[in-house]
Amino acid sequence: MKNISQDEKEYLQGNGETSNDKIVLDLSGNNWQMEGIRPGEGVKIGFHELNFDITGDAFNWGFAKVPGDVYTDLWRQGRIEDPHFGRNSLKAKWVPENEWWYKRQFDVPKEMEGKRIQLVFDGVDFGCDVWLNGELLGTHEGMFSQFKFDVSKTIRFERLRFGTNVLMVRLHPAPRRYSQVAGRKPAWHGDYWVALPPTGIWKPVYLEAMGNITIEDTYVKQTVLSENSARLDIEIELQNHNNSSNQIRVEVDIEGKNFKSENYTINTDINMNSGSHNLELSLDIHDAKLWWPWDLGDQNLYTATVKVTEADGSILDVTETSFGIREVNMEHNPGFTLDEVENPWTVMINGKRHFMRSGTWGGPPDIFMGRAHKSKYKELIRLAKEANFNNLRIFGWHPEEIPYFYELCNEAGITVWQDVLPLASLSLPKDQEFKDAVFAEAIASVKAQRNHPSIVLLEGSEELFMTASDPQHNLNFVNELGEAIKPYTPLHYIPSSPLSDEVGLNLGFKPKESFHANDLFYGEGEFVMEDYFPSLDYAVIPELAISSCPNIDSIKKFIPEEEIWPPGPSWGHHWTDFDALRTLNFEVLGDQATDSLEHFVTATQVAQGVIFQYALEHFRTRKPKTSAICICHYITFAPDMKWGIVDYYQEKKLSFDHVRKAYQPVLLTMKHYNRRWLPEEEFKGELWVVNDYYKSFKNCKASIKFLGPNKELVKEESYKFEEVAGDSSTKFIDVSCKVPGKIGDKFYVEMILEDANGNVLSSNDYMLLVEDKVKEKAALRAIGLEAFEIKQKYGWANYFRYFPGLGAEEGELEADEKLPIARGFDKL
């Protein structure tokens, strides 16, 4: 198979090369133009009829890039300001009122002549019409499904400097009601973005030239027979575009992709009639190298090359598919009865338990795909591994990812827990047409992704029951969705998350399946972490949400200078919940920290980190009764003051290091059921070790130091642990210390676990408070009740509640008054 760039295309045309191989001409890149017009007007004035005269009707169109999006192209052209800065996104709301036309001129290499040529779109957001050389090829809706057109008779082979072929794509105006397109497009709103619905050609566009029999799909199913042997059942979907039958040979070659291996080959001769045909070939791999998550083994990947040839050896089509040999099974979590937990929640990979240390992948690196460069994906996957994540969760607020994301996860050994399609927090339409379209999109998506060994668990939706007007209809819908995809994947399917909230229980789900541990955040002072998290008894925690601000340098990139401090309205537009942050700061640090920008930002990140660390370590000690914990979020797709331990600019927050410590595969943790202690009180804790490796460690040494307010040593002890068993969670010893300092101070704990050779297996630390817990809980609750009253008065989602001048309930602002600043920050 040949992939031909524009430069190579010109060389081939000039040298007259010919080949029987498949030829791919990539049409992606910067050689696109775009223009907008009111809906329906483009066809009326003949945009679709534009020809290859470069000095003609499209000479004044703006330049564009594919893959990309409309907003990024307009921003590059200077027609809109950066939507991520300040409140600029509100000023760009005119963009989705238009339809947007994308134009691409190109020549094709002469060696394509005589072959079947198809034009392929890997993904368009959301709907489009396509013309080539003035001929309407068709219409498509659905962001995730690939679509193709046979253009063999439409392509021109003449050669001009700027191309004789003219491809025109009319993007329909971006959808404005999520419920009408749910499942085929993600929500463009949520609690970190509200302004603009994305739209654009977000995946590659290319031409393929091959014979009249094509390979439509390859699926490599694996059965692990032993530690080093496996059977591959290779399902191949073929399409004969001729009206007659053909005698063909189908050959499959298997070899290691990232390691040296024996090559395996199997072939068969078939007489294929017109239309589609499904073929299955099987072979045994006797020296199989299995694929594992990074903390359980190596990430061995294979390539399956499928080739279809005619009787004379001419190649009709050839494809390459990457896969890993691994088997995923689900087991019930021990410690629960079937009346408590009905679903099997423990992911077993090649027979080994995979406790999922997860974080939600909060959308691509940018909501505008034109800015979601591959370098950002690479860095974010690197950081995820640095933070000891072994799983990332793509839930129903976000789209499925581009292939590069899954390839990076395959290589890094990070598994993916994924909603099949974006279905989140809405009442689903009830018409059959909607259902059919969503199910078709789901099947296409599953087929496109199922060879990635990183994907291990599927869900149907996110929070689809808790706010729906008809939760029973939504449940029926996602249950049917699970049945629709069942023939195409062996992965376990869960209808939604969470299952064990009040609405889920009313629908008949068991009481201890899955739960979103978000009450500490949304309760605003109603709970403290050491009381709240130990009260939760569930098989999995798919979502645990705590927010914080990004780093100051990052804040300066998207908040106007005059609004940085005291905080101006752009903070509110970027989802700053000042009241929630104040309560979290007070809970963790005993201080609302509103006296300076540096103090406030640092406090929010420390608070997020401490809460995440406490909760994650607690749930990990419940292993194997609990089998997964997921923070919400790891990242988000726009600059915000909300979720994420890595901000939009790929910068680590202070909370990142807390999660890194809590997610160490071998974790030395100190359970403590209070964070506030009186002076001279006897602090009490428990030393546990959680080991997610399957390797045991003998004759280990644990050391613990208690430090006073100035980090002075108060007490130091060491303990011998005979064995830290593989795949275990074990309490080893109680620890205690008289609390140093006076009311208002902090004290600290530092710990190290070493193996028999003195190698550090785990290091950990904590910050604790010298305070009266009863008194401080009452003060915390008072802050929370104040926040609740403000929300009740001004609205839960309306950030004007923080800026009295915007609502002007205290008197109309004069024209020369300064910019409104946040309530509670105006006395600085």
> Among 352, 361, 454, which Cα is nearest to 412's?
454
Query: For residue 615, how many other CB atoms are within 10 A of its CB?
Result: 24
Q: What is the pLDDT of residue 7?
A: 42
Helix (H) or strand (E) holding 472: helix 471-485
Across the chain, what does the average pLDDT equal?
94
Q: Name residue 121's amino acid.
A: F
Instruction: Describe the strand order of the beta sheet including 302-310 as a list of residue ranges.
Output: 264-272, 246-256, 302-310, 315-323
Helix (H) or strand (E) holding 555: helix 552-558
Q: How far is the C-alpha of 616 from the C-alpha of 359, rounded, in Å?
A: 11
Q: What is the pLDDT of residue 826?
A: 61
The mean per-residue pLDDT over the stretch 70-85 comes to 98
Bridge-partner residues for 304, per DSSP? 254, 321
| Residue matched to tokens 């300001």 | 81
Q: Could you read off the pLDDT of 437-468 as tens digits, one per residue? A: 999 999 999 999 999 999 999 999 999 999 89
Q: Is 384 helix (H, G, I), strand (E, B) or coil?
A: helix
Q: What is the pLDDT of residue 10?
A: 39
DSSP 589-650: HSS---S-HHHHHHHHHHHHHHHHHHHHHHHHHTTTTS-EEEEEEEEESS--SSS-SB-TTS
The mean per-residue pLDDT over the stretch 645-655 comes to 98
The mean per-residue pLDDT over the stretch 294-302 comes to 98
Bridge-partner residues for 283, per DSSP? 232
Q: How far is the C-alpha of 273 from the C-alpha of 242, rounded, in Å?
A: 8
Q: Name residue 824's amino acid.
A: G
Q: How far is the C-alpha of 444 from the C-alpha of 488, rounded, in Å?
A: 10
Q: Could you read off the pLDDT of 166-185 as tens digits, one per residue? A: 999 999 999 999 999 999 99
pLDDT band at 686 (very low <50, low <70, confident <90, very high): very high
Q: Does position 17 have pLDDT exceeding 90, yes or no?
A: no
Helix (H) or strand (E) holding 662: helix 654-662
Q: What is the pLDDT of residue 201?
A: 98
Q: What is the pLDDT of residue 2?
A: 58
Q: What is the pLDDT of residue 9?
A: 43
Q: How far is the C-alpha of 713 from the C-alpha of 706, rounded, in Å?
A: 6
The mean per-residue pLDDT over the stretch 697-702 comes to 98
Q: What is the pLDDT of residue 189?
A: 85
pLDDT band at 11 (very low <50, low <70, confident <90, very high): very low
Q: What is the pLDDT of residue 6?
A: 45
Q: How far is the C-alpha of 622 from the C-alpha of 729, rounded, in Å?
A: 7
Residues of the chain with pLDDT > 90, as a percent, come to: 88
Q: At what angle do helices 654-662 and 597-621 cross, to 10 degrees?
A: 10
Q: What is the pLDDT of residue 814?
A: 54
Bridge-partner residues for 166, per DSSP? 105
- Using a 10 angstrom Cβ sphere, with 0-12 exposed, 13-18 middle and 19 or more buried, the burial of residue 213 is buried
Residues counted in the chain:
828
The mean per-residue pLDDT over the stretch 283-294 comes to 96
Q: Name residue 427's amino acid.
A: S
Out of 138-142, 245-249, 321-325, least confident range: 245-249
Out of 240-244, 410-414, 787-791, least confident range: 787-791
Q: Is 406 helix (H, G, I), strand (E, B) or coil?
A: helix
pLDDT band at 16 (very low <50, low <70, confident <90, very high): very low
- Do residues 188 and 42 make contact, with C-beta atoms less than 8 angstroms apart? no
Q: What is the pLDDT of residue 794?
A: 77
Q: What is the pLDDT of residue 119?
A: 98
pLDDT band at 207 (very low <50, low <70, confident <90, very high): very high
The mean per-residue pLDDT over the stretch 12-30 comes to 68
Instruction: Describe the strand order of the beta sheet including 2-4 as a list of residue ranges.
Output: 2-4, 23-26, 205-210, 116-121, 147-150
Q: What is the pTM of this model?
A: 0.95
Q: At CA 35, angle to CA 30 and CA 39, rounded to 5? A: 140
Q: How far is the C-alpha of 666 from the C-alpha of 24, rounded, in Å?
A: 47
pLDDT band at 195 (very low <50, low <70, confident <90, very high): confident
Q: At CA 303, angle to CA 298 and CA 305, rounded to 5? A: 170
Residues of the chain with pLDDT > 70, as a percent, come to: 96
Q: How far is the C-alpha of 439 from the C-alpha of 485, rounded, in Å?
A: 8
Domains of the chain and CATH, by start: 2-210 (2.60.120.260), 213-323 (2.60.40.10), 353-551+607-661 (3.20.20.80), 668-773 (2.60.40.10)
Which two structure tokens, joined as six digits, stand for 348? 């077993």
Bridge-partner residues for 701, per DSSP? 720, 754
Q: What is the pLDDT of residue 809?
A: 53
Q: How far is the C-alpha of 809 from the C-alpha of 818, rounded, in Å?
A: 16
Which two structure tokens, joined as six digits, stand for 707? 């430090």
HSE value, Cβ hemisphere, 13 Å, CA-based, for 39: 11
Q: What is the pLDDT of residue 18?
A: 37
Q: Does position 767 have pLDDT exceeding 60, yes or no?
A: yes
The mean per-residue pLDDT over the stretch 469-479 comes to 97
Q: How far is the C-alpha of 722 from the C-alpha of 719, rounded, in Å?
A: 10
Binning the chain into helix, strand and coil, the percentages to the nearest 5 are 25, 35, 40
Q: At what angle do helices 432-449 and 471-485 cross, to 10 degrees?
A: 40
Helix (H) or strand (E) holding 655: helix 654-662
Q: What is the pLDDT of residue 270?
A: 95
- 622 Cβ contact list (under 8 Å, min separation 6): 729
Bridge-partner residues for 762, per DSSP? 753
Q: Does position 352 have pLDDT exceeding 90, yes or no?
A: yes
Q: What is the pLDDT of residue 54?
A: 67
Q: How far is the C-alpha of 813 from the C-alpha of 292, rounded, in Å?
A: 62
- Do residues 761 and 700 make contact, with C-beta atoms less than 8 angstroms apart? yes
B/e letters for 80-110, b = 16+ CB within 10 Å, e = fewer, are: beebbebbbbeebeebbebbbbbbbbbbbbb
- Using a 10 angstrom Cβ sphere, with 0-12 exposed, 13-18 middle and 19 or more buried, the burial of residue 415 is buried
Distance set, CA 310 to CA 23, 26, 247, 273, 643 (Å)? 17, 26, 7, 14, 56
Q: What is the pLDDT of residue 62?
A: 97
Bridge-partner residues for 391, per DSSP? 358, 415
